[in-house]
């Protein structure tokens, strides 16, 4: 069993996020399950955060801007990410 610690916002070296307050959380999962998302803790963390952002956006719990903040992306990178994932927001209003 492996534990992974995540921040609610993961930026990139090229595109740091202006968000300074982040929530950290830990996820425990079997190694063979974690490997479905990646080989390193960083890869697993990034993919879990992306999946959470996509589902939050689809459910209307996250706005376009919040997805970008969560993943450390600018407007156009967020737009491309959501398009690539074919994420559409639900009919309900987002935050």
Q: How many Cα atoms within 13 Å fall on the side-chain side of residue 9?
A: 20
CA-wise closest residue to 62 among 86, 84, 88 = 88
Q: Domain residues of the chain, as ranges?
A: 2-84
Q: State the pLDDT confidence band at 28, using cuts at 50, 70 and 90.
A: confident
* pTM of this structure: 0.69
Confidence check: pLDDT of 69 > 60: yes
What pLDDT digit, counting tens, does each position of 45-68 carry?
Answer: 888 889 999 999 989 999 999 999
Helix or strand run (H / E) with residue 2: strand 2-7
- The pLDDT value given to residue 21: 64
């Amino acid at each position: 069993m492996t534990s992974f610690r995540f921040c609610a916002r993961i930026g990139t070296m090229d595109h740091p996020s202006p968000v300074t307050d982040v929530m950290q959380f830990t996820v425990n999962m079997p190694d063979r399950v974690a490997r479905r998302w990646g080989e390193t803790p960083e890869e697993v963390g990034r993919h879990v955060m992306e999946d959470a952002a996509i589902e939050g956006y689809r459910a209307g719990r996250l706005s376009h801007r919040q997805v970008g903040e969560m993943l450390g992306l600018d407007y156009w990178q967020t737009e491309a990410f959501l398009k690539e994932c074919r994420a559409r927001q639900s009919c309900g209003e987002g935050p």
